[in-house]
Each structure stands twice: as structure tokens, then as C-alpha cells.
Amino acid sequence: MPAAIYPGSFDPITCGHVDIARRAAAIFERLVVGVYDAPAKALLFPTDERVKLAVIALKDLENVQIAAYGGLTVDFARQIGAKVIIRGLRAVSDFEVEMQMALLNRKMAPDLEVVCLMPSLEYSFLSATMIKEISKLGGSIEGLVPAHVENALREKLRRDDGGPHSVPRYLNS
Ligand code: ADP
């Protein structure tokens, strides 16, 4: 069985990501979780913190390694000798983006295959973006991210903006 790479921003890693990594680790001999250092979106955690949170979240999976990378995912996959790119599919909305990315990657690297895995139903509505939003607004994210990620989010947001905004403001009074 060839090695596989699971690339993404992991900002931060959620139980959905862990679910996909666990499934991939059960299929492939070796899985490298690739933490992309410069995604085209605003990041909450710097690369080293995203890596650290992923390392702790996946520490019980013996055949999984975590590495930061930059540049093209296909180049990184080649560097580490991976033949398969793992992606997670939550809903139909993910499909279009993943299909486009998979076909573009195939154009650049025909020797790599993309394998999409579906998470448990309980995580199929989860995204790191939503987690950050709920957390920012003071909502509970218990059970949606590992406990150490929950703490890291709380700490980061406390330092960033002084906590949730819960006082209603009536614009017409
Ligand atoms: P992106 O690659 O768009 O920056 P992420 O870094 O958040 O997205 O996620 C990396 C991969 O993990 C993507 O394939 C994404 O679809 C998948 N993923 C994210 N959250 C979940 C989830 N809750 N369940 C399954 N797959 C997920």
C-alpha cells in the first residue's frame, strides 16, 4: 500500500479532520498530514501552532506524521514519496471544489490519485471556519474539536479581542 498525504490548512484541526486522518491511517501504511503554510484565507493560528495542535490530536496514530509545507501539494507529495492525496468530503458543496482541485492536480501530476473519504455523520457539518466563528462569539465547541484545541482557541481569542460581544445594541434607540 503506498504512502498518502492529507493536505489542508488545519486552522485549527477539528474532530472532522481527525476522523478523516484516522480512516486514512487505517487504509494506508503511512500517512503524512501536510499543514499548508500559506492558504488563500485569513489564518487564526500560525503554521507552527497548527502543526503542534495536529501533532497532539493525532499522537495515538503510529503511522501518521505531521509536516508543514509550502508550494504545490503535488510537489510536496512527490518529495515525501506519496502516491495518494486524501481529502475529506462533507457534503455536495465540497464535491465541486474537490473535483476541480483533483483534476487540476492530475493535470500537473498524473501519477498521483486523489481519494476522498466521508467523515462520521456527526462531523459532516463541521468546518474550522465555523468553529472559529462560534468560538469567537462565545458558543460551545465541546466535542467538535479535541480538548487541547478548545483550550488553544479560548486562549487565542481571549488575547486577540477581549472575549465575546453579548450586549445587544439597538440602532434606533
Ligand atoms: P482547506 O483545504 O479548504 O483549507 P481544511 O484545511 O479545513 O480545508 O481541510 C482539509 C481537508 O479536510 C479538506 O479536504 C476538507 O474538505 C476536509 N475537511 C475539513 N473539515 C472536515 C470535516 N468536518 N469532515 C470531513 N472532512 C473535512
Give this prediction's pTM: 0.91
C-alpha cell at 11: 486552522
Q: Find out whether the beta carbon of 69 lies less than 6 Å from any atom of ligand 1.
A: no
Q: Take atom 23 of ligand 1 and give the residue whose Cα is closest.
A: 16
DSSP state of 38: S
Mean pLDDT, the chain cut into blocks of 10 residues (173 residues total): 93 98 97 93 94 98 97 96 97 90 96 96 94 93 97 87 60 71
Q: Find out whether the beta carbon of 128 lies less than 6 Å from any atom of ligand 1.
A: yes
Residues 6+ apart with CB under 8 A from 13: 50, 53, 54, 57, 58, 128, 145, 146, 149
Ligand 1 atom with the smallest distance to the CA of 41 is 4
Residue 108 CB neighbours (<10 A): 11
Report the residue among 36, 44, 84, 90 best suited for mutation to probe ligand 1: largest number of ligand atoms under 8 A from its CB: 90
Write the burial class of residue 168 (CB in 10 Å: 0-12 exposed, 13-18 middle, 19+ buried). exposed
Whole-number Å distance, alpha carbon 87 to ligand 1 midpoint, is 7
**Residue in the structure block whose three cell numbers are 495515538:** 60
